[in-house]
Amino acid sequence: MPGKTSGWAFALIAVAALAIAPLWLGTYPRYVISVWLIFALSAVGLNIPIGLASIYSFGHGGFMLIGAYATGVATISWGWPLLPAMLLAVVIAIAVGALIGLPSLRLTGFSLAIVTFAFGYMLFHVVKAFDLTGGPQGLFMPETALARAWGGRPLYYMVLAIFVVGVFWAHSIATGKTGRALRTLGTNEIVAQSLGINLLRAKMLSFMLSGVYGAVAGSLLALVTTYVAPETYTPELSINMFAAVMIGGSGTLVGPILGALFIVLIPELTQSAQNLSEIIYALIFCLVATLFPSGLLGMAKSAIRRLRPQPVPAAVRE
């Protein structure tokens, strides 16, 4: 119980810090934090199939692409308000997630990972082929009232609010019946079947939930960056999102959020050196995968356990 209480207290302090940050931060730092929250939200969603069901997905960037382009096309070409446009993106992502989940009953491991990667790769080329999606040039998002008012802070708070709701929802999924079913599935499919878990339904559900997070993150990214371009949603984005989950610590709630911080900060810190960020990604991923399979969060927990004073056995005290 004390551990859970301290965890909730830390979460509240972190949210409070993020809430007051725009009051004294400039426009660009606020933008960077917004992008981090968006990528963290996306990584939390990707953690559902990876961390709970042990399904390696390399197509999460495709869900973010769906969110961005569905929101962009609906608002620019069809004149939809923002909220219905984002809901459309979520509905499309759920449908696509169900379709991707269908092959998961027969495919596992590397084969399924290739299918998910092909999904993101295909969408990347599809949006470049049609005028409706802006072709290779992409779409310029109209400036919203949220971005115009109070220096853009309302848009930041919208991102923060959706991020907080998304994290709490992911926590409820992980600790509830769905999370237990997905963990059982990821541990042993035979045991899951013997317990009455429908494998196809569970796998499809993991992709659908992941798709919801990816689509919402893509919609928010389009609003924050005001530009939807194919080059933002290349297959490399899916690899980076996978790396964020694994580097931070899959199967945990904080791990993907921590991993997303690396995905955002490393390019910011290496802007002057071309391709240096990709090299750093690869080095960190290799080091973590080799030395700390449980991710940076697992490494931190292990270090804390070692620093804590160990209880002295009763025989020694006597």
The CATH number of whichever domain residue 228 belongs to comes to 1.10.3470.10
- Does residue 184 have a pLDDT over 70? yes
Residue 104 burial (CB count, 10 A): 23
pLDDT band at 41 (very low <50, low <70, confident <90, very high): very high
**Distance separating the N- and C-terminal Cα atoms of the chain:** 31
* pLDDT tens digits, 85-111: 999 999 999 999 999 888 877 777 788
Return the percentage of the chain with pLDDT > 90, whole number: 53
What is the model's pLDDT at position 275?
Answer: 65
What is the model's pLDDT at position 103?
Answer: 84
Q: Is residue 265 domain-resident?
A: no
Residue 291 burial (CB count, 10 A): 8
Can you count the helices (H) and strands (E) in the chain? 15, 2
What is the model's pLDDT at position 111?
Answer: 86
- Does residue 312 have a pLDDT over 60? no
Q: Is residue 9 domain-resident?
A: no
What is the model's pLDDT at position 73?
Answer: 95
Q: What is the model's pTM?
A: 0.90
- Does residue 151 have a pLDDT over 80? no
Q: Is residue 240 domain-resident?
A: no
- Does residue 295 have a pLDDT over 90? no
Q: What number is the average pLDDT over the span 194-204?
A: 90
What is the distance between the alpha carbons of residues 312 and 236, in angstroms, rounded to a whole number? 51
Q: Is residue 277 domain-resident?
A: no
Where in the sequence is the domain holding 121, given as residue range(s)?
A: 30-233
E strand or H helix at 271: none
What is the model's pLDDT at position 36?
Answer: 96
Q: Is residue 262 domain-resident?
A: no
What is the distance between the alpha carbons of residues 266 and 224, in angstroms, rounded to a whole number? 19
Contact 254, 245 (CB under 8 A): no
What is the distance between the alpha carbons of residues 94 and 100, in angstroms, rounded to a whole number? 10
What is the model's pLDDT at position 5?
Answer: 65
Lowest mean pLDDT: which of 69-73, 114-118, 248-252, 307-311?
307-311
Q: Read off the tokens for 275.
A: 């391709």
Lowest mean pLDDT: which of 15-19, 225-229, 313-317?
313-317
CA distances (Å), 309 to each of 6, 7, 298, 312, 313, in order? 19, 21, 19, 9, 12
Q: Read off the tokens for 197.
A: 């878990």
What is the distance between the alpha carbons of residues 105 and 206, in angstroms, rounded to a whole number? 13
What is the model's pLDDT at position 285?
Answer: 72
Q: How many domains does the chain have?
A: 1
pLDDT band at 24 (very low <50, low <70, confident <90, very high): confident
**Alpha helix stretches (DSSP H) within 102-252:** 109-126, 145-148, 153-175, 177-187, 189-194, 199-225, 235-248
What is the distance between the alpha carbons of residues 103 and 116, in angstroms, rounded to a whole number? 10
**Mean predicted lDDT score pLDDT of the chain:** 86
Q: Report helix, strand or coil for 139.
A: strand
- Does residue 48 have a pLDDT over 70? yes
Q: Read off the tokens for 130.
A: 């049609």
Q: Is residue 46 domain-resident?
A: yes
What is the model's pLDDT at position 4?
Answer: 62
Q: Is residue 6 domain-resident?
A: no
Lowest mean pLDDT: which of 52-66, 137-151, 187-201, 302-316?
302-316
- Does residue 78 have a pLDDT over 70? yes
What is the distance between the alpha carbons of residues 124 and 118, in angstroms, rounded to a whole number? 10
Q: Is residue 293 domain-resident?
A: no
Q: What number is the average pLDDT over the span 137-150?
A: 83
Strand partners, 139: 228
